[in-house]
Structure 1
Amino acid sequence: MNSKNPLVRTVTLVLFWLVVAAVLFYVLFPFYWAIKTSLTSSARLSAEALQWVPSTLSFQNFRDVFTVAPFGRNLLNSVVVATGTVLLSLLLSVLAAYALGKFRFQGKTILMYLILAVSVFPQIAVLSGLYTMIQTFGLYNSWGGLILSYMIFTLPFTVWTLTAFVREIPTELEEAAYVDGASPLQTLFRVLLPVMTPALVTTGLLAFINAWNEFLFALTFTTDATAATVPPAIANFTGASQYESPFGLTMAASVIVTIPLIILVLVFQRNIVSGLTAGAVKG
Structure 2
Amino acid sequence: MESTRSKWGWILASLFILVWSAFPIVWIVMLSFKDPSEIGNIKGFFPKQWTWENYSTVFSTDLFTAALINSIGISLIATFIGVVFATLVAYAIARLEFPGKKTILSFALAIAMFPVVSLVGPLFDLWRNVGLYDTWPGLIIPYISFALPLAIWTLSAFFREIPWEMEQAAQVDGATTWQAFRKVIVPLAAPGVFTAAILVFFFCWNDFVFGISLTSTNRARPVPAALAFFTGESFFQQPTTAICAAAVVVTVPVVAIVLLFQRRIVAGLTSGAVKG
TM-score normalised over the length of structure 2 = 0.93
Answer whether contact 1:98 1:163 (CA < 8 A) is retained. Answer: yes
> Residues 41 and 112 (structure 1 numbering): CA distance in 2 closer, same or farther, change over 3 Å?
same
> Residues 221 and 59 (structure 1 numbering): CA distance in 2 closer, same or farther, change over 3 Å?
same
CA distance in 2, matches of 1:12, 1:239: 50
> Residues 195 and 58 (structure 1 numbering): CA distance in 2 closer, same or farther, change over 3 Å?
same
Matching of residues 129-148 of structure 1 within 5 Å: 129-148=122-141
Q: Pick one of 32, 40, 64 that aligns with 2:26.
A: 32
Unmatched 5+ stretches in structure 2: none
The residue that corresponds to 2:246 in the other structure is 253
Q: Pick one of 5, 17, 22 that aligns with 1:23.
A: 17
1:196 aligns with 2:201: no
> Residues 114 and 36 (structure 1 numbering): CA distance in 2 closer, same or farther, change over 3 Å?
same
CA distance in 2, matches of 1:192, 1:91: 14
CA distance in 1, matches of 2:127, 2:2: 65
- Out of 201-210 and 184-193, give the one that drifted further: 184-193
How far apart are 1:119 and its partner, in Å? 1.0
Query: Sequence identity, in percent?
Result: 35
CA distance in 2, matches of 1:104, 1:13: 48
SS at match of 1:129: helix
SS at match of 1:70: helix
Q: Pick one of 84, 87, 96 that aligns with 2:89.
A: 96
Answer whether contact 1:81 1:147 (CA < 8 A) is retained. Answer: yes
The residue that corresponds to 1:125 in the other structure is 118
CA distance in 1, matches of 2:232, 2:92: 53
Answer whether contact 1:70 1:226 (CA < 8 A) is retained. Answer: no
How far apart are 1:126 and its partner, in Å? 1.9
The residue that corresponds to 1:216 in the other structure is 209
Q: Pick one of 179, 201, 218 that aligns with 1:225.
A: 218
> Residues 183 and 130 (structure 1 numbering): CA distance in 2 closer, same or farther, change over 3 Å?
farther
Report the RMSD for the aligned CA atoms in angstroms.
1.9
Q: Which amino acid aligns with 1:86?
A: T
TM-score normalised over the length of structure 1 = 0.91
The residue that corresponds to 1:52 in the other structure is 45
CA distance in 1, matches of 2:89, 2:8: 50
Answer whether contact 2:63 2:230 (CA < 8 A) is retained. Answer: no
Answer whether contact 2:232 2:243 (CA < 8 A) is retained. Answer: no
Higher gyration radius (CA): 1
Matching of residues 55-74 of structure 1 within 5 Å: 55-74=48-67
Q: Which amino acid aligns with 2:148?
A: L
SS at match of 1:253: helix
Unmatched 5+ stretches in structure 1: none
- Count matched residues: 276
1:89-131, CA deviations, whole angstroms, 9 ceiling, x for partnerless residues? 1100111011111101111111211111111100012223333
The residue that corresponds to 1:180 in the other structure is 173
CA distance in 1, matches of 2:233, 2:262: 41
Answer whether contact 2:89 2:152 (CA < 8 A) is retained. Answer: yes
How far apart are 1:282 and its partner, in Å? 3.1
SS at match of 2:2: coil
CA distance in 1, matches of 2:91, 2:220: 36
The residue that corresponds to 1:75 in the other structure is 68
CA distance in 2, matches of 1:54, 1:96: 51
How far apart are 1:152 and its partner, in Å? 1.9
- Out of 176-185 and 149-158, give the one that drifted further: 176-185
CA distance in 2, matches of 1:182, 1:241: 64
- Out of 16-25 and 262-271, give the one that drifted further: 16-25
